[in-house]
Copies of this chain bind each other. A is one copy, B any other.
Amino acid sequence: LGKGALTRGRILDEAVRIASREGVEGLSIGTLAAALDLSKSGLFAHFGSKEALQIAVLEHTSTRFRESVRPRLENLAGLAKLRTLFESWLDWLSSPDLPGGCPILGAAFEMDGKEGPVRDALVRLQATSAESVHRVIQEAVDRGELSPLTDVAQAGFEFRGLTLAYHHASRVMGDPTARRRALKAFEDRIVSWRQGP
């Protein structure tokens, strides 16, 4: 690839692949320059610092996730949208483009004992994704598809837990039943959110 052909998006796509395998903390301007056969000084001029590159990678990952989900949610609302959102999340966590899993999820478990701007960006992105889930759950409540007594934040906590359990079973343990179990657990939750407490 000529350097001129490498847009910021394509540089970040490669950075996401590296971060998926090595973790965001394993990503540096040096490893990215080597993978793209670019000069470190050029990438440094582009991103400014390792931390700025790491934040850009987390944000690019988030954008790609949202772009992969958005077309699937079009014309859906409430409970149908919630189900598709959950399935899209499982698909994302199994994406062949992410050889070591989602870099945001990896970073969450990598950086839980740390402080600084990269962790702040990570927490912000994770809070935004939680709010998106909460909005869809609330929409299902408002449409009368889930009980008006549904604790939306509690339901969101359990939604996240099932995506983490899926990631752990499929990616870590190589469990071929992971997807079936995650979908079963999710449908059980929907039954209980319909009934209410």
Contacts and interface: CB of A to CB of B under 8 A. Distances in A.
A148 interface: no
A21 interface: yes
B168 A108 contact: yes
A153 interface: yes
B161 A108 contact: no
B154 A160 contact: no
Given A100-B113, A160-B165, A123 B173 contact: yes
A108 B171 CA distance: 9
Given A100-B114, A112-B171, 13 more contacts: A23-B25, A25-B26, A105-B109, A108-B168, A109-B167, A111-B172, A112-B167, A112-B172, A126-B168, A158-B165, A158-B185, A161-B164, A188-B192
29 contacts: A20-B113, A100-B112, A101-B109, A101-B112, A105-B109, A106-B109, A106-B110, A108-B109, A109-B109, A109-B110, A109-B172, A113-B171, A122-B172, A123-B172, A123-B173, A126-B168, A126-B173, A153-B181, A154-B181, A157-B182, A157-B185, A158-B162, A160-B168, A160-B169, A161-B161, A161-B168, A161-B185, A164-B168, A188-B192
Interface in A129-170: 130, 153-154, 157-158, 160-162, 164-165, 167-169
A113 B161 CA distance: 21
Interface of A: 20-21, 23, 25-26, 99-101, 105-106, 108-114, 122-123, 126-127, 130, 153-154, 157-158, 160-162, 164-165, 167-169, 171-174, 177-178, 181-182, 184-185, 188, 192
Contacts of A112: 100-101, 106, 167, 171-172
Given A100-B112, A109-B110, A110-B110, A157 B172 contact: no
B173 A165 contact: no
A181 B168 contact: no
